[in-house]
Amino acid sequence: MIFCNITICFEKEKGNFYHERRKGVSKRMKKLVNSASFVVILAMMAAGCGANSGSAGNGAESSNGGGSGEKQTTINFIHWRGEDVKIFDQLIEDFEKANPDIKVEMNVFPSEQYLANLQTKLMDGKYGDVFASYPGAQFETLSKAGLYEDLTGSEYIAAYSASLIEAGQKDGKQYALPYQLVYNQPVYNKGIFEKLGLTLPQDWDEFLALNEKLKQNGYIPIAFPGADIGPGQFINSMMMNNNTDEQIWAKVEKGEAKLTDEWFVKTLSQIKELADKGYFQKDSLGTNKDIAGSLFAQEKAAMLATGSYMMAGIKEQNPNISQGLLAPITVSRDKAVYEGIHTTTFMLGINAKSSKKEAAEKFIAFLSDKAVAERYANGTGQLVTIKDVQYSTPELQESAVWVDKKTRFQPRYLISDAKIEKAVTTSVQAVVSGMDPAKAAADAQKIVDQNVKKQ
């Protein structure tokens, strides 16, 4: 073979030379390598046999310690919010004090690989006794796989606002309880708006004028994280009034409505208009949410195209900032139906394959308690779905105002097929980068066609 020529010539020459030099070392090294590997092989075989018959002892704290005769259960709690870890640690400590026979072990996986990791862990039955999930496609996938324990009729459900827990229901049964309430609409800098005498826009022209004025005054009107969450967040408030049919995404997924229809193309062209007029920061498609967030926190940008969940973090970066939520109204005043977008997320569920369901239920009941939820909310800066919670920070109070407004459940989460969802967010990226809206819509529709549910 051709390959051998070079390698062998090279090796042979060097080989002889090195052999002489390394003769002494080689025997020792060889012995070391051999003994090390024998030990390793034995260990592997031993561990390999052990792994099949249950916990490998790695990670999960063993529940049979002590020898005091007390039976202790350890439950595993999985979610994606690294930001909440400190608060959860405190809450878990209190829970464990109140329930000495239960220990809670928490695992956090970043949101991108969350679903992938979650599925495997749940299937095993070893992990995820209590786990958090997203509504929409993720909920669909997991409930289809039968991974949610049916919670219908449990006492603690009464603590939740009835209208806010629908996202975790299927076929009339409650499978998961959304814990967080977020508003997926742009955050705006109240100080800048006041300074420039701006009022909240009531229709599209007013929104455009608002942006123009901001731009004229040297601000970035909208910080748009086009690299990650921007498209998926912004599309909601932009389309909510362009198409008010709650069933629209179900229809698109069945092929009964198309992305090339007027409402979607209009949405895309309105987003494109914002980009073309320079209302997004430069290179928005290369900007991620953290950088967009800093632009907003540094008061270089007047609006941030994400949602209420970022307000707490922004406040940390800039304690002097005063924030509020607004929504771009994409139609004329009289046609506007919705004022904003809400999502109920971070849905708590119990692994149907868990062997520790009782303990898991106790934990969920604990979290559902009003006082506990209040601590969580004020500690993490997130709104919760539990009734009658008192919010103490200005950001939370500001957001809580929206509970009484007419908001729509995040349309994007009504897309149950992940590929279609991605096609939609990609089309937003496409128009921001300059593609013609009709073409972007057609490209996305092509992907929809390829994935239409063959009922």
Partner 1 sequence: MKQSKTLYLFIIPGLFLYLLFFVYPTVNGLILSFTDWDGFSSKNWIGLENYKKMLVDDSIFMKALTNNLKFMLGVVIFQTLLSLGFSILLVKNSKSNIFFRALYFFPTILSSISVAFIWGFMYNPNVGVVNNVLGRIGLEALAQNWLGDPELALYSIVFVQVWAHTGQMLVIFVAGLQSIPEELYEAVYLDGATKWQAFKHVTWPMVTPAATIVVAYTTIQSFKAFDLIFALTGGGPVYSTEILSTYIYHTAFQSSEFGYAAAQSMGFMLIIAMITFGQFKLLKGNRAS
Partner 2 sequence: MNHLNKDTAAGRMLKQTALIGFALLILVPVSIVILASFKQMTDLFENPLGWPETFSLTNYVQMFSEQHLGRYFLNSTLVTITTIACILFFSSLLSYAIYRFTGWLALVLYGLFSAGMIVPPQVNMIPIYSLVSDLHLTDSLIGLIAVSISVFMPVSVFILSGFMKSLPKEMIEAAAIDGASEWRTYAQIVLPISMPSISASAIFLSVMVWNDLLFPLLLINSGDKKTLPLALLQFQGEFMTNFPLIFAGVIIASAPMVIAYIALQRYFVEGVTAGSVKG
Given the rule CB under 8 A, which residues bind partner 2?
Answer: 3-4, 6-8, 10-12, 14-15, 18-19, 22-23, 26-27, 29-30, 33-34, 36-37, 40-41, 44, 47-48, 51-52, 56, 58-59, 82, 107-113, 117, 120-121, 123-124, 288-291, 294
| C-alpha–C-alpha distance, residues 121 and 132, integer Å | 13
Residue 101 binds what, of partner 1, partner 2, none (CB under 5 to 8 Å, by partner type)? none
Distance from C-alpha of 308 to C-alpha of 182, rounded to nearest angstrom? 6
Q: For the window 17-46, what string marks contact with partner 1 as x by the rule CB under 8 A?
A: ------------------------x-----
Per-residue binding letters, 95-114, with partner 1 (x by CB under 8 A): -----------------xx-
How many C-beta neighbours within 10 Å does residue 97 have? 8
Residue 56: strand, helix, or coil = coil
DSSP label at residue 288: -
- Our finding on whether 433 is near partner 1 (CB under 8 A) is yes
CA–CA separation, 117 and 284 (whole Å): 30
Closest contact distance (angstroms) between CB of 11 and partner 2 is 5
Q: Residue 105 or 436: which CB sits closer to partner 2?
A: 105
Instruction: Supply the minimum distance, in Å, between the C-beta of residue 39 and partner 1.
Output: 14
Helix 437-451 with 418-432: angle, nearest 10 deg: 170
| Comparison of 196 and 227: residue with beta carbon closer to partner 1 | 227
Q: Give the pairing of strands 340-350 and 407-409.
A: parallel
Q: Per this entry, what is the length of the chain?
A: 455
Select from partner 1, partner 2, none the partner in contact with residue 108, using the beta carbon and a kind-dependent cut-off of 5 to 8 Å.
partner 2
User: Rg for the chain (alpha carbons), in Å?
Assistant: 27
Name the token pair of 303: 């609006």
Report in angstroms how near the CB of residue 23 gets to partner 1 at its nearest.
23
* Cβ–Cβ < 8 Å for 346, 178: yes
The span from the CA of 234 to the CA of 431, in Å, is: 13
Determine the angle formed by the axes of helices 230-239 and 262-276, rounding to 10 degrees.
120
Helix (H) or strand (E) holding 235: helix 230-239
Start-to-end C-alpha separation, the chain? 55
Min dist CB 182 to partner 1, Å, is 22
6 contributes a contact to partner 1 by CB under 8 A:
yes
With CB cut-offs between 5 and 8 Å by kind, which of partner 1, partner 2, none does residue 157 bind?
none
Residue whose CB is less far from partner 1, 165 or 430: 430
- Partner interacting with residue 12 (select from partner 2, partner 1, none; CB below 5-8 Å by kind): partner 2
Beta carbons of 169 and 330 less than 8 angstroms apart? no
How far CA 60 is from CA of 14, 57, 64, 73, 124, in Å, comes to 50, 6, 12, 11, 13
The 400-419 site mask, x for binding partner 1 (CB under 8 A), equals -----------------xxx
User: Cα separation of 258 and 420, whole Å?
Assistant: 12
Q: How many residues bind partner 1 (CB under 8 A)?
A: 41
Candidates 257, 295, 327, 341: give the one binding partner 1 (CB under 8 A): 295
Does residue number 430 form part of the binding site for partner 1 (CB under 8 A)?
yes
Q: For residues 215-234, which are near partner 1 according to CB under 8 A?
A: 226-227
Applying the rule CB under 8 A, the residues between 183 and 202 that interact with partner 1 are none
For binding to partner 1 (CB under 8 A), which residues are involved? 2-3, 5-6, 9-10, 41, 112-113, 115-116, 119-120, 123, 141, 144-145, 226-227, 281-287, 291, 295, 417-419, 422, 426, 429-430, 433, 435, 443, 446-447, 450
